[in-house]
Structure 1
Amino acid sequence: MTQENNPQLPPTTDIEVDHSLRATIEKWFEYPITVHPHHTDYAGIVWHGNYIPWLEEARIEYLRSIGIEYADLVSAGCELPVVEINLRYHQPLKMGESAIVKTRVNEIQKVRMHWDYEIVSFSSQNLYLSGRVTLVGIDTQKGKVLRQLPPILQQALVKMS
């Protein structure tokens, strides 16, 4: 096949970032992490699945920082399961390194909450991961999607955005 019939994609370093897709809210919650041996593979690189718990921890701590205890939501019959997750791995974190998980609520659509994430070095020079997680409010007793988020959560989320 000729080059014309089989076009090559440009390397990821050549892809321009569309900054118009970023949230306009620049207030991030920051959660520090350190890479321990159990987070890594035999080469000392963080295994891709270990990033997700750090995102969850940052989100839970963010909620706690504005007065929402996740355990209290669960006790009140509300769960916030992940319904969609999109991650982009930019460069690997390695054993012994520390970084910051940054998170913020980007958008709320009725009972859907879209959270943005970045994992960056303390100097913010290195971007390790970026992504978005979508949660939905569930009534645990009925096993159905809520019609609206609990008022205390709605009020707290308004403060965040």
Structure 2
Amino acid sequence: MTDRRAIAEMPLRVRYHECDGQGVVFNAHYLAYVDMAAFEVEKALFGSHRDFLATGLDLVVAESNLRYHAPCRFDDELVVSAFLTHLGSTSLIFDHEIRRGALLTTEARVRYVFVDQKTFRPRQPPDEVRDRYLPFLPTPEHA
């Protein structure tokens, strides 16, 4: 992934119950870490998840992909960073990096769709919502 400005960086410490019999973080927990970081993005852009919901929108996951580079273990201190890579008419894509110190352990790409809270049908966000995300889109040389 290229150098971009993270919308949010969330530190966390791996808990014992998140590890499998091999002593590493069970694969599904990485998506939970990314999901937790998504709420930090909303906090950074809107003040809180509740403030984001006040727009009448919600976000649903349409697609996710994980790439594991190095295992994480109990008590590791990690940082999950969220980078906006695409903002479409009804969807957006975030690339996430999970690091232990300088070591990139995991990459995740998640495509979200803006939906109407009542119908859960895709919906274009109003300009005031899009404008919160726009400053974090990568410049053409980093796309």
- Where do 5+ consecutive residues of structure 2 fail to align? 138-143
Counterpart for residue 84 of structure 2: 105
Q: Which has the larger radius of gyration?
A: 1
State the Cα distance separating 1:138 from its structure 2 match. Answer: 0.6
Structure 2 residue corresponding to 1:139, chosen from 102, 110, 116: 116
State the Cα distance separating 1:63 from its structure 2 match. Answer: 2.3
State the Cα distance separating 1:43 from its structure 2 match. Answer: 3.1
- Checking the alignment, whether the CA contact within 8 Å between 2:42 and 2:52 is kept in structure 1 is no
What amino acid sits opposite 1:31 in the alignment?
Answer: M
1:64 is aligned to 2:47: no
1:26 is aligned to 2:1: no
- Checking the alignment, whether the CA contact within 8 Å between 1:86 and 1:132 is kept in structure 2 is yes
State the Cα distance separating 1:37 from its structure 2 match. Answer: 0.7
Structure 1 residue corresponding to 2:61, chosen from 67, 71, 82: 82
Per the normalisation by structure 2, the TM-score is 0.85
State the Cα distance separating 1:76 from its structure 2 match. Answer: 4.1
Structure with higher RCO (Cα < 8 A, 6+ apart): 2
CA RMSD of aligned residues (A): 1.7
Per the normalisation by structure 1, the TM-score is 0.76
Q: Deviation per CA, 1:35-65, whole angstroms, max 9, x where unpaired?
A: 0111111332100000111111112112212
- Checking the alignment, whether the CA contact within 8 Å between 1:68 and 1:153 is kept in structure 2 is no
- Checking the alignment, whether the CA contact within 8 Å between 2:69 and 2:104 is kept in structure 1 is yes
Distance 1:62 1:75 in 2: 16
Give the fraction of aligned pairs with identical amino acids, expressed as a percent: 24
- Where do 5+ consecutive residues of structure 1 fail to align? 1-21
Counterpart for residue 125 of structure 2: 149
Distance 1:76 1:98 in 2: 34
